[in-house]
């Protein structure tokens, strides 16, 4: 009979960080209870999630895991589709984190989940493409000020999967994205998004190999 016990979940890195930044991580049981409240969205591959105080990924990691479970269920029979939709699932996860070490840890944790799912080595083209995505999607910055670590306005890529191994990227300012919800129930609701929100940059369709490069 095993007497091993699961070590307690670490919710605080140090008392000083709590005092300086109010840093306390959400326990995993509470994270999963909260995600269950929006369960259909967490299981949609193309639903976009932004955590404005993402820490090391307490919310984003289980969101990605749920998305990847949906990828396996819908596209698991085709390795080509499974891998491409897995990368698209990763593309739909976003975070902002004030502290540099947390932001780096969040990227590492998400990358580990993705590479394990697709069976990629750290130097693999899939791992390099995922690292490119995470460098853009997980931003070190201040969500309230809407600025990154350099003081520049935060910009996020909006990714789309075009099929046949091709992805589309359009960049939007974070402040611009937050305005979308404010148009609901107003005169501007009748307009299409492309009539109001203009990307700051649009890239040509790209492959995994091009993302990795």
What pLDDT digit, counting tens, does each position of 82-106 carry? 999 999 999 999 999 999 999 999 9
The chain-wide mean pLDDT, for the chain, equals 87
Q: What is the pLDDT of residue 55?
A: 93
Q: Which of 51, 167, 150, 179 is nearest to 110 (CA)?
A: 51
**Per-residue pLDDT, 19:** 45
The SS3 call for residue 66 is helix
**With a cut of 50, which residues of the chain have pLDDT below it?**
1-2, 14, 17-22, 183, 186-191, 195
pLDDT of residue 159: 97
DSSP 23: -
**Sign (positive or negative) of CA dihedral 98, 91, 69, 83:** negative
Q: What is the pLDDT of residue 127?
A: 98
Q: Give me the pLDDT at residue 28, please.
A: 83
pLDDT, position 21: 46
* Dihedrals phi, psi of 47, to nearest 5 degrees: -75, 140
Terminal Cα-to-Cα distance of the chain (whole angstroms): 51
The pLDDT value recorded for residue 2 is 47
Q: How far apart are CA 110 and CA 119, in angstroms?
A: 14
Tell me the C-alpha distance between 160 and 45, whole Å: 11
Beta strands in the chain (DSSP E): 49-51, 93-97, 138-142, 147-148, 155-163, 166-173, 201-202
pLDDT at 17: 47
Write out pLDDT tens, residues 138-156.
999 999 999 999 999 999 9
């Amino acid at each position: 009979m095993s007497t091993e016990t699961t070590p307690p979940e670490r919710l605080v890195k140090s008392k000083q960080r709590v005092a300086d930044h109010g840093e306390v991580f959400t326990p995993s049981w509470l994270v999963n209870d909260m995600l269950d409240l929006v369960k259909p969205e967490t299981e949609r591959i193309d639903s976009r999630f932004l955590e404005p105080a993402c820490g090391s990924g307490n919310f984003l990691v289980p969101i990605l895991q749920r998305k990847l479970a949906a990828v396996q269920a819908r596209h698991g029979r085709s390795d080509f589709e499974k891998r491409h939709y897995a990368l698209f699932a990763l593309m739909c996860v976003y975070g902002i984190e004030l502290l540099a070490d947390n932001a780096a840890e969040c990227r590492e944790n998400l990358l580990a989940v993705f590479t394990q799912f697709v069976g990629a080595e750290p130097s693999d083209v899939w791992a390099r493409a995922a690292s490119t995505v995470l460098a853009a999607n997980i931003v070190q910055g201040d969500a309230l000020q809407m600025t990154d670590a350099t003081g520049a306005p935060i910009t996020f890529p909006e990714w789309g999967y075009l099929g046949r191994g091709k992805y589309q990227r359009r960049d939007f300012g974070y402040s611009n994205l937050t305005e979308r919800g404010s148009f609901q129930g107003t005169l501007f609701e009748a307009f299409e998004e492309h009539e109001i929100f203009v990307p700051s940059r649009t890239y040509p369709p790209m492959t995994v190999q091009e993302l990795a490069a």
